[in-house]
Amino acid sequence: MMFENYVDIHTIQEIRARSLVYFGCGAIQKMNDIAAELKKRGIEKVMILTSKSAYKGSGAWEPTVDALEKNGIAYVHFDGVIPNPTTDSIDEATKAARDFGAQALIGIGGGSPIDVAKSVAILLEYPNETGESLYCYRFTPEKAVPIVAINLTHGTGTECDRVAVASVADKNYKPAIAYECIYPEWAIDDPELMLTLPPKHILYTSVDAVNHVVEAATTTCTNPFAITLAREVIALVHKNLPIALADPKDLAARYNLAYAALLAGISFDNGFLHLTHALEHPLSAVKPNLTHGLGLAMLLPAVVNAIYPARAAVLADILAPMVPGLKACPCEAETAAKAVEKWLFSVGADRKLADEGFTQESIAQLVELTQTTPSLPVLLSVSPVEAATELIAKIYTDSLTPFEA
């Protein structure tokens, strides 16, 4: 974290991931450049996607519509994005976009509005397809209209990756898709827009970022880049999350958490994900009100316990800020798992599956969903330990109550 003393958080940086990410306080001003570029490409109509209210008061709305109006781009606002969006809600948004003739999409929000924007961006190019056919892998998209991601949280990484997630209505499926064509062309990570994020989401979005790198650094297909980013992400979150929770207006801490989340998104775009996400998606598919980051927090200690022996060196290294003193011995699995849980509890992520209404009887259905939900078997296939049925069931069982109990 050598940058902290030398980087002015009010300078807008251009961070070139696959997406061009305008990063820093005030980055929302870059909507002017983005709108001008859209206009230059002949785009006359865009749809802005948001949830009902999270974007209000964030400071993102006015600069966005001002930039569109200044450049003579017409827009329609779809504000029906729901948390844990379903394929039905994607169809509703797609219909509105098709009716309006939208040629590009702007998602303002956390993961849900941006992921719905990505999904609609594909469906605009495939008029005969639906949200369900997209998320049940009935076709392979190769094109999408341009996507602008204005990120209001610091967790998902969706502003800079090729992944989107939605639940398939009536099936308890919450698959992920990953296609080259849905990298947002432009992303805005402006920490000032994140200041209205409720404390619960400051916590759980950052926990999401931590999980992204613990998994990305330990898959069987990881690469050195994903691991290098993982080390920095955990150090940044470990240092800055308690500061942001104590004072949500601490802009430097929020900047660092946003940077950590961006790096984590790039890390898992490279290294992919495995057990924690594969086991979490069924939780929030069965209970749509369950926050993704909370689901991950409940599972992480048991996943660390399961994978540590197979990836002791990497985990001892990247977890060092929150679990100092690990020697990379496979025998430390339980020590590492308990220490990770202690850290999670220390920042307020102290709930377990039983607290959210899951029981031993829930586990058979959850295990089955990890194995039958489209895309999740792919995540299981890159786990550093074989994701056998018994192991998946054990992770759920171990996550019902605190590890120390």
Q: Nearest approach, Cβ of 268 to Fe ion (angstroms)?
A: 8
Name the residue nearer to Fe ion (CB basis): 104 or 376. 376
Name the residue nearer to Fe ion (CB basis): 91 or 208. 208
Q: Nearest approach, Cβ of 156 to Fe ion (angstroms)?
A: 6
Q: Nearest approach, Cβ of 165 to Fe ion (angstroms)?
A: 8
Name the residue nearer to Fe ion (CB basis): 174 or 231. 174
Q: Nearest approach, Cβ of 157 to Fe ion (angstroms)?
A: 7
Q: Nearest approach, Cβ of 98 to Fe ion (angstroms)?
A: 29
Name the residue nearer to Fe ion (CB basis): 190 or 208. 208
| 163 within 8 A of 83, measured Cβ to Cβ | no
Q: Nearest approach, Cβ of 278 to Fe ion (angstroms)?
A: 11
Nearest by Cα to 89 from 129, 128, 131, 34: 131
Nearest by Cα to 22 from 201, 259, 225, 206: 259
- Alpha carbon distance 370, 386 (integer Å): 14
Q: Nearest approach, Cβ of 273 to Fe ion (angstroms)?
A: 7
Pair type for strands 20-23 and 186-189? parallel
Q: Nearest approach, Cβ of 369 to Fe ion (angstroms)?
A: 17
Nearest by Cα to 160 from 150, 168, 170: 150
Which residue number places its CB atom closest to Fe ion? 208
In the block, tokens 């990505």 appear at 118
Q: Nearest approach, Cβ of 100 to Fe ion (angstroms)?
A: 31
| 337 within 8 A of 403, measured Cβ to Cβ | yes
| 192 within 8 A of 246, measured Cβ to Cβ | no
CA 349 remoteness from chain centre: 17
- Alpha carbon distance 20, 46 (integer Å): 19
CA 234 remoteness from chain centre: 15
Q: Nearest approach, Cβ of 38 to Fe ion (angstroms)?
A: 29
Name the residue nearer to Fe ion (CB basis): 150 or 164. 164
Name the residue nearer to Fe ion (CB basis): 231 or 292. 292
Name the residue nearer to Fe ion (CB basis): 111 or 402. 111
Name the residue nearer to Fe ion (CB basis): 19 or 276. 276
In the block, tokens 């802009």 appear at 251
Name the residue nearer to Fe ion (CB basis): 208 or 332. 208
Q: Which residues bind Fe ion (CB under 5 A)?
A: 208
Instruction: Locate all alpha helices (DSSP H) within 41-179, ordered by sequence.
Output: 61-70, 87-100, 111-123, 131-135
DSSP 25: T
* DSSP E strand stretches across 326-389: none
Name the residue nearer to Fe ion (CB basis): 90 or 165. 165
Q: Give the C-alpha distances (Å, rounded to integers) separating 179 from 309, 367, 373.
A: 32, 26, 18
Name the residue nearer to Fe ion (CB basis): 115 or 208. 208
**Which residues lie closer than 8 Å to 257 by C-beta, 6 or more apart?**
154, 202, 205, 206, 209, 236, 237, 240, 241, 244
Q: Which helix (H) or strand (E) holds 14?
A: strand 13-16
- Alpha carbon distance 118, 156 (integer Å): 14
Q: Nearest approach, Cβ of 155 to Fe ion (angstroms)?
A: 7
| 394 within 8 A of 306, measured Cβ to Cβ | yes
| 74 within 8 A of 132, measured Cβ to Cβ | no
